[in-house]
Amino acid sequence: MDVNFEDLMCQVRACRLCEAQLPLEPRPIIQASPEARILIVGQAPGRKAHESGLPFDDASGDRLRQWLELSREQFYDPALVAILPMGFCYPGTGKSGDLPPRPECASAWRDKLMAELPNIHLTLLLGQYAQQYHFGADKRTLTERVSDWQTTWPDLVSLPHPSPRNNLWLRRNPWFETELLPALAVRIKQLIP
């Protein structure tokens, strides 16, 4: 890694832009390296990730690693997988789950970080916040975007969030596990043999 990238990562990890709006001490949780070939764009770290300092260090992460057919070691290797959520710190909990990601992270850091990730060949957009950011004015629902996965294949794939809260969505959309996930596993094996 070059010095500029390491400096940037230190700056991100020291970020306190939204400190007054967070329920806990800021703890930006990201994973990246200029060598990474896969980018995972999620919502924001959950409480368990905040406590451990590891992204997706919970049941959502277990399911995501299963979907991607990646071992824990592969998943947490920044030279293979970059993880840049829309918000880098735990945003707190609302009535139906975690609050939306704070907007300060994307505006302050996203372009700078993406400029340092030249080897990304596959971007996975998990959930509505990542998809809204990347698709902008596209008003399709999450289900419509995910079911239309071949439109942006093989470089960009929309996925539901792997949270256990989405079990009903998974039951209602069996094609996700029978069609999309097998194709995604093949694509990932092309990038991480």
Whether the pLDDT of residue 117 is over 60: the answer is yes
Helix orientation angle between 181-191 and 59-68, rounded to the nearest 10 degrees: 80
Confidence at residue 3, expressed as pLDDT on a 0 to 100 scale: 52
pLDDT band with cut points at 50, 70 and 90 for residue 1:
very low
pTM for the model: 0.95
Contact 109, 118 (CB under 8 A): no
1 or 30, which is more confident?
30
Coil vs helix vs strand at 34? coil
Which run of H or E residues covers position 38? strand 38-41
27 pLDDT above the threshold of 70: yes
Note whether 89 and 16 are within 8 A (CB). no
Which domains, and CATH codes, for the chain?
3-191 (3.40.470.10)
pLDDT tens digits for range 37-82: 999 999 999 999 999 999 999 999 999 999 999 999 999 999 999 9
User: Average per-residue pLDDT in the chain?
Assistant: 94
